[in-house]
Structure 1
Amino acid sequence: MARNSPQTDRIVMLTELLASDPTTGRSLADIARHLGVATATCYPMVVALTEAGWLVRHPIRKTYQLGPALVPIGQAASRAIDVVDLSRTVMQELADTSELACLGFIRSGADLVVAEAIQPISKRSGTLGLRIGDNVLMAPPLGAGLAAWFDEDDLHEWFLLGKEALDTEATLLRSEYEPILMAIRERGFAVECLRQQERSISDAVTEMRGPGVGGQRAALALREARRLLSADVAVGTLDLDANYQLLSVNAVAFAQDSTPALILCLVDAPSPLTGERIAELGKLVREAADRVTTLMHGRTPRPLTSADGAT
């Protein structure tokens, strides 16, 4: 595991602080207070960022705001994830139809990164405490919707991460999850649910990370919240008459080479839903993911059948 870099975390936290209210400048004392360090500690960093054009200093008020050098960086980042731009209209329609928040995840190494978060027009809905830019470790019990489309090497790595996250043997995880992954591929969407005592995961993430906090502290909050989840989050066969506390129903949009490009997720239902309703939501998410795949001129892999799994 990579070592923490306090200086890097401070840059991330400072950038998020100024981005949260871009028209309001912050004094050096405000910045130091937010970062939890002495003014003398953060002063060299602020000076260096100002010289680089990442920050600008008001000549009279002596406050700092985001600088013009960040504009082309943001534009470059936006072009790099153009799949998100292509999917926004589809995600908005999905959120409005379901009346749930729709999150878009892209893969970054062993993590899933929140690339977009869309609220339904009718009301503000929960997002499991997640914000754009958050990284979520993709290890069991999370990520089955993507793992269902992995090749054998990536799938093996996913189970190894689950072994560490859940303190369970990888072979046991494989035997438990393989039927679930097969079901996900056959129906085209994944379902992740909570036990009732786990309903507070959204509040737990929010409480542990604090307002406006990113970087390492956000990552730690998300990592701790994962420990509230049990191993049986992923749902294989849905009982249409049963009630479930929905964590996520999600489906994958694919690139031209049939690799996963974006995961669309409806998340954080405020109250239990029937299996029948979740199946309806799953169909909506699958159709939305198929639309994004078409917009990218992508290609969905052939779904596996039970016969394929037996070979």
Structure 2
Amino acid sequence: MSRPSPQTERLIDLVDLLASAPTEEFTLADIARAAGLGKPTVHPMVVALARRGWLLRDPGTRTYRLGPALVAAGRAAAEGNPVLTAARPVVRDLAAATGLVCVALVAGGVPGEEDDLVVGEIADPADDRRPSAPTGQRWRGHPRGLRPGDRIPPRPPLGAVQVAWSDPETIDRWLDRLDAEQRADAAGELAPALAAIRERGWALEVGDQLRERLGRLVADFDADQRNAEHAAALRRVLTEIGRAFGVTETLPTAISPDGQYRASVVNAPVFDAAGGVAVVLCLLCVREGHRVPLRTGAEIVALGTRLRASAESLTHGLGGRWPPPFA
């Protein structure tokens, strides 16, 4: 694993801070306080960013906001990935049609580390009802507080739709992300779930009410840095509950139309010309406050069917091919 660079991370955190509230201006003291650093530490970073046009300083108020150089960088990033360019209108259409937040995930690696899923695009239907929707602000309805660029480790069951069509070696590497205790039985237990995903062309991930409530508590504590220790303790409890809950319960093999499911995510793969997964389209079924409502199987199947149709259309538009089911 590559060694962390505290100074680099502080610089990125500083930009993230300003991006989280793009309509506001921050004094040097504001930035230092939010970053938990002293002004002497923050000052050279702010000066360096201002010199490159990443920040703008108002001479009158002596406050800072994001600068025009970031606009150019953002445009280049948006235009430089043809897959995300093609996925962007599909994600927005899905959000508008379903009333759910839709996310496009792409694979992204860090040197010396395992590949993760990266949030490439987010469409929130609520944005159309807001006076302004800051593009840098995290969407707080999801337990992770997602925003573009966030990395998500595909630890089973997350990532099932990405590996369902893969060879056994790839599936084994995915399963290796589990703890040793879970890994022993996971391959046999998850095989029926992966087969069901291949047959449907989409995956359902379900949650449980206890983890949902704890997730809300963690988010509440995270909002107040004075409760950092409590939030860390709750995360540990949440992890243990996740281990006890198991990965197989999260990926139901059969979905009964009359059944009731606490659906958290419905997702489907978009394939490239080689038959690999280029994008994962996700519908987030959680609501504000991290509530995961019960839905009937019929409702979930309708969402999955719509999602697969969009994924197939995007696959075709990218010149991709849907691979045959892996036996």
Match of 1:119 among 115, 120, 124: 124
Q: Is the 8 A contact 2:266 2:285 kept in 1?
A: no
Q: Partner letter of residue 202 of structure 2?
A: F
Q: Is the 8 A contact 1:128 1:267 kept in 2?
A: no
Equivalent in the alignment of 2:39: 39
User: Secondary structure of the equivalent of 1:263?
Assistant: strand
Q: Is the 8 A contact 1:247 1:268 kept in 2?
A: yes
Q: Within 5 Å, give how 1:1-12 maps onto structure 2.
A: 1-12=1-12
User: Secondary structure of the equivalent of 2:181?
Assistant: coil
**For residues 27 and 292 of structure 1, what CA distance do their matches in structure 2 show?**
45
Equivalent in the alignment of 1:48: 48
**For residues 318 and 219 of structure 2, what CA distance do their matches in structure 1 show?**
34
Equivalent in the alignment of 1:83: 83
Equivalent in the alignment of 1:20: 20
Pairwise CA RMSD: 2.8
1:302 matched to 2:324? The reply is: yes
Residue 202 (structure 1) shift: 5.2
User: Secondary structure of the equivalent of 2:283?
Assistant: strand
Match of 1:234 among 222, 246, 251: 251
Using the TM superposition, name which of 43-52 and 127-136 deviates more.
127-136
Q: Is the 8 A contact 1:159 1:173 kept in 2?
A: yes
Q: Partner letter of residue 295 of structure 1?
A: G
Equivalent in the alignment of 1:274: 296
Q: Is the 8 A contact 2:271 2:278 kept in 1?
A: yes
Equivalent in the alignment of 1:284: 306
Deviations 1:103-131 (A, max 9, x none): 11111133111211212368799434432
Equivalent in the alignment of 1:148: 164
Residue 244 (structure 1) shift: 0.8
Equivalent in the alignment of 1:215: none
What TM-score comes out, normalization by structure 2 length? 0.80
Deviations 1:43-79 (A, max 9, x none): 1211222223322222232222222322332222212
Q: Is the 8 A contact 2:165 2:325 kept in 1?
A: no
Using the TM superposition, name which of 228-237 and 118-127 deviates more.
118-127
Residue 208 (structure 1) shift: 5.5
Q: Partner letter of residue 248 of structure 1?
A: V
- Structure 2 unmatched ranges of 5 or more: 110-114, 131-138, 225-231, 287-291
Deviations 1:228-268 (A, max 9, x none): 53322112122332211011110011122221111111113
Q: Partner letter of residue 291 of structure 1?
A: S
User: Secondary structure of the equivalent of 2:311?
Assistant: helix
Kindly tell me the number of residue pairs found equivalent between the two proteins: 295
Equivalent in the alignment of 1:190: 203
**Percent of paired sites with the same residue:** 37
1:130 matched to 2:145? The reply is: yes
- CA 1:234–1:108 in 2, change beyond 3 Å: closer, same or farther? same
What TM-score comes out, normalization by structure 1 length? 0.84
Equivalent in the alignment of 1:104: 104
- Structure 1 unmatched ranges of 5 or more: 212-219
Using the TM superposition, name which of 66-75 and 253-262 deviates more.
66-75
Deviations 1:189-237 (A, max 9, x none): 01100122222365256336539xxxxxxxx99x866655332211212
1:248 matched to 2:265? The reply is: yes
Residue 22 (structure 1) shift: 2.9
**For residues 276 and 23 of structure 1, what CA distance do their matches in structure 2 show?**
42
1:257 matched to 2:279? The reply is: no
- CA 1:76–1:153 in 2, change beyond 3 Å: closer, same or farther? farther
Q: Is the 8 A contact 2:22 2:65 kept in 1?
A: yes
